Structure 1
Amino acid sequence: MNAPQPNKLDLTQRHRRNRKTDWARRLVREHVLTVSDLIWPIFLVEGENLRQPVASMPGVERLSVDAAVRAAVEAVELGIPAIALFPNTDPALRNEQASEALNPDNLVCRACRAIKAAAPGLGLITDVALDPYTSHGHDGLLLDGEILNDETVFVLVQQALNQARAGADVIAPSDMMDGRIGAIRAGLDAQHFDRVQILAYAVKYASAFYGPFRDAVGTGAILTGDKRTYQMDPANTNEALREAAQDLKEGADILMVKPGLPYLDVIYRVKQKFGAPTFAYQVSGEYAMIMAAANNGWIDADKTMLESLLCFKRAGADAILTYFAPRVAKTLKDLI
């Protein structure tokens, strides 16, 4: 006796038809992650031929300038459009005035010149903030426990000019001081750096996800208090729109939302509201969580990193700063 046939549903729409094979899924895919979406953040450290592991970020290293040059050449070979530089400044050079930020021969400036000589077609993004240079770990000048806004902005303009002279293509203020985008734009234009772009960390939250980054740049152990008086409250999204609007008005070319994955709703709102180029930062804590879980065998590292970055694209990000950049670029190349 034949087994009874299961009842068939009377369906006109069967959405699984578009999912039945790899070629079908590729044809209807709404968002795609490519190597052109990647920016590689690189940590710098003094020394020669040095690759110094960051314990809280498995697979990430602090690089001496010569090693950073080799990384930049690798980025070009992989098709990565740009890198972003972050220094781990010698503690002996840090002070309350962040004077090393204005030294034309500081770690970032030396790296800029060397990288531009070796890889002139690679985009070079430099961080403008004082925390890698202050003895207290804050992004601005500190007086009696208060971060001074206007006085800090004056120093940030000089820091931006210092980096532009060294060859930076994109100035990226991450400090969250009020008015710094307009002041930096005016300062750059006055010194004939009108072609230098500004990537504004327009929406930067006072997040717990920055811990490994602070280890990497050497500010975690020295930070006095917290940054909640100038970085945004994680509870707010309307405020993000006000911040982004102000930065665009002041001359920002690109907006940044940081952190990334926990703030996909913010990325979406910023992109939908303004339509401006919008970048996201997959921050150190996001990277560290994926790597920790992968190293414990709980998740697949490659599949998870690709999925997480695709989520940024789906939310509206045009590009993503991610420590996975070289690994993703190699993985995408193998998939072609």
Structure 2
Amino acid sequence: IQLKNVTKVTKFTLLGFTDDFELQVYLFLLLFAIYVFTLLGNLGLVLLVTADAQLHNPMYYFLCMLSILDACYSSVVAPKMLVNFLTDSKAISFIGCATQMLLFVTFGTTESFLLAAMAYDRYVAIYNPLLYSINMSPRVYVPLITASYVGGIVHGTLHTVATFSLSFWASNEIRHVFCDIPPLLALSCSDTHINQLLLFYFVDSIKVFTILILLISYGFILLAILRMHTPEGRQKVFSTCGSHLTGVAVYHGAILFTYMRPSSSYALDHDMIVSVFYTTVIPMLNPIIHSLRNKDVKEAMKKVFERNWFV
């Protein structure tokens, strides 16, 4: 094979959704609003938990970490995507693309582990509430949070190194709005069979592991509900767990659809829409999902508003 006139890629071009400038402006306005609400909602929830002493328990520490992750997760993708909507140059450097992928996969994987840890926390709180502060002490929840981050970093590093060890020659146009794994594998001129296997089996293993923890935790929670004799107790459990289950279902559903399929079934344009959904819309919805049905959070918000109103 003659490679004399072939240039090694030093930067990539993110093609995005469309070349229609008017449509890009509308998309910019929509996604900018979503991004602003994402930051306000998630960082506002962190400040609320920090400021209210009644929310200083492990369940809300986990919720704080989820909010921080969502803000970071969205910030890895949204700023560059928004800039590209309004500029002709949609380039991203080789190092910038690798960094974006590393952070994106790291935060996404960490969130998967953290959602599983939150399910275990819900089980501990409901199954034996009197011993909750002992069974979920800092010696328990700090290692759970740390392990979630370590797992995310390892998984992100693995896929980033594997992807950017491939050869990229001549073509540098990525059919996506950010540097995700499937479109980069489609762009590479190397044999990506091993990368496809890594993507499928590692994501598969992580999802099976985290979903198994979710099922076991909620299985025990269901047993606890069946033993309750008062409607008030059951209502409190549904209020505590319903929001978490909703967030888990939406998040894992989008991830499973995008990554846990053989390479032959990838449709990059369709996956791009799903990817934008779980990197922008879900992080915006999470603080809403976890706040609206939570009595303690609503009470804390009410106190903040009343305090500011009468000051």
Higher helix share: 2
The alignment's TM-score, normalised by the length of structure 2, stands at 0.27
Q: Which has the higher strand share?
A: 1
Instruction: Give the TM-score normalised by structure 1.
Output: 0.25
